Every structure is written in structure tokens, then in C-alpha cells.
A = this chain, B = another copy of it.
Amino acid sequence: MRISKKTEYAVHSVLYITFFKDRTVLLDELAAQGISREYLAKVMRLLTKSGILKSSVGVNGGYVLARSADEITLEDIFNAVEGDAFYKCESRSRKCGLAGKCGLTEAFNAARGMFLGELRKCRISDMLGKSVSDGSWLKKMNPVV
């Protein structure tokens, strides 16, 4: 069980957009972190479709937060990017006599609930405030202003 790079890309991009929340952010800016531009575009689309970001096409287009940074949690981003594929009992398609009665699905769902609950405590606003309060690295790599 592992977390894909997509999630890291998504979180860092949302942090970036949050820091420059008074303007739209370009895909090229985000890709300048060292992420494949076209691949990142797909990740951004996931975030847009799930209502975390708003995008606008055309000149002066780009991305902005769809809601306040303290209303966005790691859980939101995780769900948007990783989807909800997790565990599906396959015992029925085998000759397994347990046939879903072993309680494994319930146990894993409970554990997943605890996992998501912990992520829900992490607000993007807090993450930005803690780690990059002055935003020096962001300003340095910002090609626009």
C-alpha cells in the first residue's frame, strides 16, 4: 500500500496557489517545481473536478482556490487524487467459504476511516503557515512578480 506521487504534486501545488491566492496561477509556474507539465495538468484537473480549485481557460486563465484555505484539508486532496479504490473483498469469486463474512472489509474500512480522519485534521492554511510562513522560497521561484 503506497501513496502515489500525484498526491505530493497536488498538495504542493495547492500550497503554491494558496500563497498567491490574490491572483491566478499558471500551470507552467506549478510545473516549475520540477513536475512534468502535462502530467501535472491531469492532477490539476482532478482537483478542479472535485471542487478544490477553480480553473479558467484562455488568456489570463489559470487556477485559483475554489474556497478558503482553511476549508481545504489533506483529506479533500487525498480523496480527489487517490480516488476511493481501496479494498474490495474478492472471496466470492474464489471458492472461499468465508464469502465476505470474515470481517476483513469492515476492519479495513474502519482503519481507512481513522486514516482519513487524521488527514482531515490537516488544513492547507495550517500547513502553509507552519512550513513556509515567509514564503521566501515561493517568491524566489515565482516567475511572474
Contact = CB atoms under 8 A, between A and B. Distances in A.
Interface of A: 1-5, 8, 11-12, 15, 32-35, 74, 82, 85-87, 89-91, 93-98, 101-104, 107-108, 110-119, 122, 127, 130-132, 137-138, 140-141
A133 to B, nearest CB: 11
A53 B12 CA distance: 43
A116 to B, nearest CB: 8
Nearest to A95: B34
Contact of A35 (B3, B94, B98): B94
Given A102-B132, A112-B115, A122 B94 contact: no
Contacts of A34: 93-96
| Residue of A86, A97, A132 with highest tally of chain B CB at under 10 A | A97
28 contacts: A1-B2, A1-B86, A2-B85, A2-B87, A3-B108, A5-B90, A8-B90, A8-B91, A12-B91, A34-B93, A74-B104, A97-B137, A97-B138, A97-B140, A97-B141, A98-B131, A98-B137, A102-B127, A102-B131, A103-B127, A104-B127, A107-B119, A107-B122, A108-B119, A110-B118, A111-B115, A113-B118, A114-B117
